[in-house]
Structures are given as C-alpha cells and as structure tokens.
C-alpha cells in the first residue's frame, strides 16, 4: 500500500481544538513567566514548567490537522482516518443496508491525527447520531452500543458506502459534519473524534480490499478498497 503522507509537513491546528489550545497557551505562558513571582524552589518551578510544556505539546499533537492531498479514482475508497486496520470481515450491517457487507475497521490511538474524512465522492444519503456507552473502541459491541454516528455516501462509481464514527472509552465528543443531500468529495473533512476511537467502513461484497490487518493507512491519502466497474 502507499504509505506516503503527501503534503503532510505543513502543520495546522484543527478548529475543534482552538479553544483548548488557547487555554493551554495561557497556562503555559503563566507557568513560564509567572513562576518568577513565586518564592518556590527553582527545581519545583522548573518541574511545573516542564509539566505545562508537556501538556501544551500534547494538545498541539492531538489537534494537529496536517494538509493532505487526496488523489483518488472515482471507484476508490480512501482511508477515512489515520490509524491501524484491526478488522476486515464480512458482517451484517443492520442499520441501513440490513444485509451482509465487507467491514473494514480502523482504530485511532490518542497519538493519531483525529480528523475524519469522507472515504468516497458522492451524495450523503443518510446521516444519524446515536448516543450510547463508552466501551473501549476495540470491544466487539462498541459498534452497536457506543456513542456513534452513521453516514452513507452514495457515489456514482462506488455505490453507497457507509462509515461509522465510534467513540471509545475516553472519547467523549464526536463531531459529524455530514448533512443529508450534501455533495461531498473524497478526502474532504467529515468530522472529528476526540481521543482514542474507531471508524468502521461497510463496503460492497465485490470490493477489492487494498489493505490488510495491521496496516496503518493515512486518512485522505491511502486507498482502502476499489469497487469493480
């Protein structure tokens, strides 16, 4: 598979993290310049400064939004997020299709970019948010019991493709940008999930899968599957 992170060196912050980043910046500046006014031992002051610097860098790392260039054929399904492929199997999708499809699941750790992207071009036919539990993202029941969203994008060459954002044990905030009837492009931002989480794809049974278990695709860059013409 192609593991080239095209145009990822330009660092941007995602809009979902701007408020948190402002707070983290204020705390860091307070720690760096405010300790001089406190009569604490130098070692204690430096230790606290390092802690706040670490927290600031963690916020920047988590909410980074690298520039990605999507180059895809109309029949290709692109990775909707960064992470590790943990499931490739035939499964019954019982919310929208109500039939057997190929399920491909990608687990996102807190260290991954957490921007979510549309896997194919087309029109959003279905978009629904489901409240739920916060089981660990790799739990077999997380796709049906956890907080999640379900979106179906119907493409002219791919047909309808369903993706599902699934909250994990520490992911408490899912952002879904999809709206029914909206035309979308492959690689375009479709949402954001804070902290560890998972995305499931449900593809046609004739899809040619281009990844294997353990692969780490780049969201908006690497091809997950191709749909035969």
- Considering 105, 142, 143, 197, which one is annotated as catalytic? 197
| C-alpha dihedral (81, 64, 197, 73), degrees to nearest 10 | -10
Catalytic, 197? Answer yes
Task: Find all residues with CB under 8 Å of 87, minimum gap 6, and list them.
Answer: 103, 104, 105, 200, 213
The tokens of 11 are what?
């660092």
Q: Which of 189, 192, 155 is nearest to 73 (CA)?
A: 155
Cα 11 from Cα 66, distance rounded (Å): 5
Q: How far separated are the first and last CA of the chain, in Å rounded?
A: 21
Helix (H) or strand (E) holding 78: strand 76-78
The tokens of 204 are what?
């046609």
Q: Which of 56, 63, 64 is nearest to 5 (CA)?
A: 64
Catalytic residues: 197
């Amino acid at each position: 598979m192609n593991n080239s992170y095209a145009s990822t060196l330009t660092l941007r912050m995602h809009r979902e993290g701007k408020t948190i980043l402002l707070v983290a910046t204020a705390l860091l500046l307070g720690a760096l310049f405010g300790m001089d006014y406190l009569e604490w031992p130098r070692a204690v002051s430096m230790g606290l400064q390092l802690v706040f610097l670490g927290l600031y860098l963690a916020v920047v790392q988590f909410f980074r939004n690298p520039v990605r260039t999507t180059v895809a054929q109309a029949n290709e399904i692109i990775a909707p997020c960064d992470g590790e492929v943990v499931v490739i199997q035939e499964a019954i999708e019982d919310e929208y299709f109500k039939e057997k499809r190929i399920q491909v699941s990608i687990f996102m750790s807190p260290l991954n970019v957490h921007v979510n992207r549309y896997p194919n071009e087309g029109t959003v036919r279905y978009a629904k948010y489901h409240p739920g539990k916060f089981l660990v993202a790799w739990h077999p029941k997380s796709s049906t019991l956890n907080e999640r969203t379900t979106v179906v994008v119907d493409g002219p060459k791919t047909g309808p493709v369903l993706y599902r954002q699934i909250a994990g044990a520490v992911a408490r905030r899912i952002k879904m940008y999809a709206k029914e009837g909206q035309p979308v492009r492959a690689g375009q931002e479709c949402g954001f999930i804070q902290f560890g989480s998972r995305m499931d794809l449900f593809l046609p049974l004739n899809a040619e899968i281009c990844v294997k278990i353990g692969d780490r695709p780049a969201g908006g860059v690497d091809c997950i599957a191709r749909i035969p013409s």
